[in-house]
Amino acid sequence: MCGIFAYLNYNVNRERSYILQVLFNGLRRLEYRGYDSAGIAIDSASFLSVNGDPNSSSNSISAHTPPPLVFRQEGNIESLVKSVYQEVADVELNLEESFLTHAGIAHTRWATHGEPAPRNSHPQSSGPEDDFLVVHNGVITNYEVLKETLVRHGFIFESETDTEVIPKLAKFVYDKANEAAGDQIVTFSQVVLEVMRHLEGAYALIFKSRHYPNELIACKRGSPLLLGVKELRENQENGSAFEDNKFLSKDGHPKELFLSSDAHAVVEHTKKVLVVEDGEVVHLKDGGVSILKFENDKGEHVGPLSRVASVRRALSILEMEVEQINKGHYEHYMQKEIHEQPESLTTTMRGRLIRRGSSKSKSVLLGGLKDHLKTIRRSRRIVFIGCGTSYNAALAARPILEELSGIPVTMEIASDLLDRQGPIYREDTAVFVSQSGETADTLLALQYALDNGALCVGITNTVGSAIARKTHCGVHINAGAEIGVASTKAYTSQIVVMAMLALAIGGDTISSQARREAIVDGLYDLPKIGIFANVGWLNWLDRTASTKRSKYTNYKVKEVLKLDQEMKDLAQLLIAEQSLLVFGRSYNYATALEGALKVKEVALMHSEGILAGEMKHGPLALVDENLPILVIATRDACFSKQQSVIQQLHARKGRLIVMCSNGDAASVCPGESCKVIEVPQVEDCLQPVINVVPLQLLAYHLTVLRGFNVDQPRNLAKSVTTQ
């Protein structure tokens, strides 16, 4: 969704051109979240150069401080960059002007209220003098009531956004507080805390004000936000130093501070971050960071403003490298992430598969769950909750979890669970699946499950995300940064993690031991390098490689990626089509849904995943010689049923594309006109990991050939942080 970014340099000279580039590059790192317009705000002049007294009151400061420069533009970031430099040239603004301290804010907007247009872009303003500026990620649900109140007090609204009420409310609070306070100084944090008291909904906000130059305030409720800290010391190697116990203090040391919706915009500057919690207000001032904890209606009210307690927090270190968020030698992020799957699956499983030197001792170790496995095994049911691709991944894992655990497993789309207020019981285990860990509907469903007393398990790709923090336990999929909006490697890693979850829950059942060991072997067979936790497994592998497991030299995901050119050729045949049907069943019903979703998301072609068992209950009416139909018919317990489906579609002159296991082409292809995609065979519960890769490649090549943006599909966002 929207991306927010801010950069504050303290006690270190930075030219205006440098500040602009930091802001622009921050927005570029957030492009993958999805957006349709962008904007920035910087100072028009140094505060000290126009005022000269850093101890002046806010009233005298605002009287001398010129309004900030605000730039907003519809379209992509490069359109914003072009318009900024054009406007800078028109007004002859000095790009070489240096600022010892400066605070700038930036935003990418994904339209929710009001069409994409400069007036609706952020930063949104309090009025003509830009006394308060705000960038916002989220939705304010009570904005209409606030807007009506502010209009009655003489405020004029220029945009259709929900965000515009925030800076105008800040100005209203500031003006009223100064009238009541007399000679007392009204602080920036007091203003923001009072604004928060009136807001309902989900948000992450960054405030900038000419009344409080060189200060920024950030706060959040529901939407993601983090602070990056980079201290600059001449006597430190690489120009960076950090002390946990001093980073909050106003020590006068030069430093750079960053605020961002996620880590991608921060990691190139620093790995030292603080994940802002709900209800926290982060105030950047004089090189220091103060954190206030706000709880609505619980603060002590003195006059019109609130007093709340301050808190101390520790920084954490990002486990991310800049190289992870670069394309490398690939043309697009989606292409890169599809081809990274052997490595991402290896990382997902590393240290979690166990062999203790014997073929009879194979299991999994999920450290984040080990203390809760007994509780999960006693559950009356397991409820998977997710949205989009994450829901599909859970659906792919449901059969093996039911088989190995013996516990009923139900599926819930997060938004539908909330709409229905479906029953969740204390005896349930609710598993929340989200790549970002910040999906708005999934987070609301998580709170609903917590309120109902269920054990909540998180499966996410993002360390420190809201789901990771709020669930009782969980597993990180460790797939690495995923930039493309259409999820690829995170999907396959989610399936693998949930297969390992099934192995862990069913690990105490003797009757399924052989099945579990076969799955462990199959997991090893997916990626391309060693992943086992115990040293003893190497000796076992050496003893048996020539007899029992010669296929270890044949790594399955790497093998299926060799279909890249074949999928490109198939995409060329389908380039002019308007629709595509994908039939699957059992484990591969999820594959049909996910493959259709990928084509729909990026290639902008209507596609539909259909449960093959439902073919005669409506979908068969669509079949003719023109409509392309892809049937997934790899070897599993439903193979003969899929053969029957193929025969029926062929009898009605269906235009068939069949995905089958290697060597099965003759068994599944009823005529010469049938197109066949042969894939490696693995354990049935892991087959969705293999089968989805050709569909990912097909969607990618279809999109490129049709001339659409692969990494930023129309109208879509990577992380859906609003309802």
The answer to whether the beta carbons of residues 504 and 512 sit under 8 Å apart is no
Instruction: Say if strands 606-611 and 579-584 run parallel, antiparallel, or are unpaired.
Output: parallel
Edge-to-edge strands, sheet with 409-413: 409-413, 381-386, 428-434, 455-460, 473-476
The answer to whether the beta carbons of residues 3 and 34 sit under 8 Å apart is no
DSSP helix/strand/coil, 287: coil
The three state secondary structure string of 164-190 is CHHHHHHHHHHHHHHHHHCCCCCCHHH
What is the Cα–Cα distance from 434 to 459, expressed in whole angstroms? 6
Tell me the two tokens of residue 500: 């390992």
Phi/psi of residue 333, each to 5°? Answer: -65, -40
Cα torsion at 40, 44, 46, 47 (round to 10°)? Answer: -90
What is the Cα–Cα distance from 286 to 63, expressed in whole angstroms? 21
The dihedral sign for the CA sequence 460, 463, 466, 471? positive
The answer to whether the beta carbons of residues 121 and 36 sit under 8 Å apart is no
Q: What share of the chain is helix, strand, coil (3-state, %, to 5)?
A: 40, 25, 40
Q: 394: which strand partners? A: none
Burial class (CB in 10 A: 0-12, 13-18, 19+), 297: exposed
Q: How many residues in the chain?
A: 723
What is the Cα–Cα distance from 623 to 662, expressed in whole angstroms? 27
Our CA angle for 141, 111, 434, nearest 5°, is: 75
Phi/psi of residue 282, each to 5°? Answer: -105, 120
Residues in CB range of 140: below 8 A, 6 or more apart = 146, 162, 163, 165, 166, 199, 200, 201, 203
The answer to whether the beta carbons of residues 2 and 107 sit under 8 Å apart is yes
What is the Cα–Cα distance from 344 to 436, expressed in whole angstroms? 16
What is the Cα–Cα distance from 124 to 105, expressed in whole angstroms? 11
Residues in CB range of 402: below 8 A, 6 or more apart = 408, 409
DSSP helix/strand/coil, 554: coil
Q: 208: which strand partners? A: 133
What is the Cα–Cα distance from 406 to 502, expressed in whole angstroms? 10
Tell me the two tokens of residue 407: 């516990």
Catalytic residues: 2
Of 692, 697, 696, the closest CA to residue 679 belongs to 692
Q: 202: which strand partners? A: 139
Give the H or E element holding residue 467: helix 466-470
Q: For residue 441, give Cα distances in angstroms to 204, 220, 285, 479, 594.
A: 16, 17, 35, 22, 19
Q: 317: which strand partners? A: 272
Residues in CB range of 281: below 8 A, 6 or more apart = 189, 192, 193, 196, 217, 218, 219, 291, 292, 293, 294, 308
The answer to whether the beta carbons of residues 290 and 192 sit under 8 Å apart is no
